[in-house]
Structure 1
């Protein structure tokens, strides 16, 4: 069969199989566009006022963000605005004095009340005391906010309400609240103004966790305040209304009360796709290179310092070196020292006379005593053991 015929057959077979598959795919699949909300990145992930700063810059205003209130570095001017999201209870008395002196010269300060709870262990922030604001003992309650397309819109559901002293109430320009307490009050302070708010969640640009959930899983608006920050049009209108006194006159300082994540936190939380495989590879390499658990050879016996073991070892060494007569002589000398102590007369004798005296003393046959006292051959371990045994028996009978 020619090659051209073979290739024609293969191409025809491919077309015959591909056309039904393409038709099946087009009938069973459709193109769908879906928008995924990605988590914030960079400064937006830790600065809740990041979106507000970007919106102000887009509107032609100068906006500066700070993690903490730093009056020495901020150089506040009379026409500036400070949005203090940081807890005012963290401010030192010197900072409070400087901040209020700046407001008297024409500044505009927005400050929130402390979070709810822990009233028994918390003191009223000094800044609020100086302004005549009383927040301790107050709880949180939703405040209705009229929105044309959302009749049930509420605000300040999570914030602590507050009250004002008589002297502070005399300086009120605008106030908003109910019998449960105020959620907003604008106070005159010299040539400037101070806005006290129950919370500033509506200014936040970082969506809360609930806003990332599907619509079916989000809590009802009647039960909980919307948590979309400046992504909500009503929140943008409210924020613009609060910034109105010095809007366009000076710098807007956004103190967002947060710190950027450290390098180690970024490595652990965001760099795990890199370091986790490397760590697993390192552990696998160490496992492959490491020895099995336990030692290959049995552990050596611990060193012993017993005198008896040293004597035994010395005797075994002499036996291996064929020094049996030396061992016999040592035991024989031991017996003769006992004989010197118990029978001095027999100890002074020598040769056969001594053997006869020892046999008479022990009531043993002379031949047996002679065998015990005679040195064995160097390579006869059986005779050595027998004669050492006889000498020890003779010594014990004395």
Structure 2
């Protein structure tokens, strides 16, 4: 093929590709596709991130706290503290400090963590036990529960007498409102106020999920759960509205960790390298102390290892590690084995018959057989008694 023909062929191919591309572009239709990558790393690490953003959009100042040490500098008045972290290991001193902060004018929002134990007269939740608030499982309540009205006000709302079309949702009525707010609390739990301290509450069809009571100059809101404000649930029902209602006209501090760290946790958190170096030092010291010191002892000569020494050493080893009963029990088993060989069906006989057969075969009195084959005592025998018993067993075995 000449050079000219090759250029013409390449040009024709380029023109054909141009027409094909123009045709395909004319047939193509643009479209949009949304690819969901899931929650951001910040949302995965903070289950209440959406709640923070929601409050800030309402013009409410929000800050985070990782421990109750924040109370030392946190003012009480004009503050709402959302205690969202676990209080399982909270100390009595921390509980007193938290209630003292509330009594000075703060608003504490807390979640009931444990069920009331009627036998012990407490739940183990130091904060709720101090406030005399009890939590039960809704399934354990009598049919007359709850006793409170479905209104956070002192008076019964007229709509309370109507049929509840949403029994699994918690209804919160406000004064001068004709319709309630619906909150998605977990209906498996119920809050009880045996001392009638609460001035406001919210109920589902069968249980109470929110109580408000005054404490000193402050306010405490107790809820059965705070899951309603997590990222995947805050947009349901009126969950977000309840968060705004409880925190309006105040600054908000969201406390994620209320537990008291143990000494070991604090040491590992702040002195990890020092602890690692100390462990290496301990390992090196144990290795050094475990090394042999001095010359290695040479093994004894084979010429002095007589059979009697082997037997004595073996017996001493068995007595030292397994006790006297192991030696005597071995002799008793050997006696039974020899009797089994000489009398077929020996194992099927009861103990008295077996002793009778052993006495007949050995031609020894029944008292000697009983003394030799009776169960071994638990207490340690004296050296003379042990020797006597072993000699007696050996005599009986040799007679068989």
Task: Return the index of the structure with the highest Cα Rg.
Answer: 1
TM-score of the two chains, using structure 2 as the length reference: 0.48
Give the structure-1-normalised TM-score: 0.48
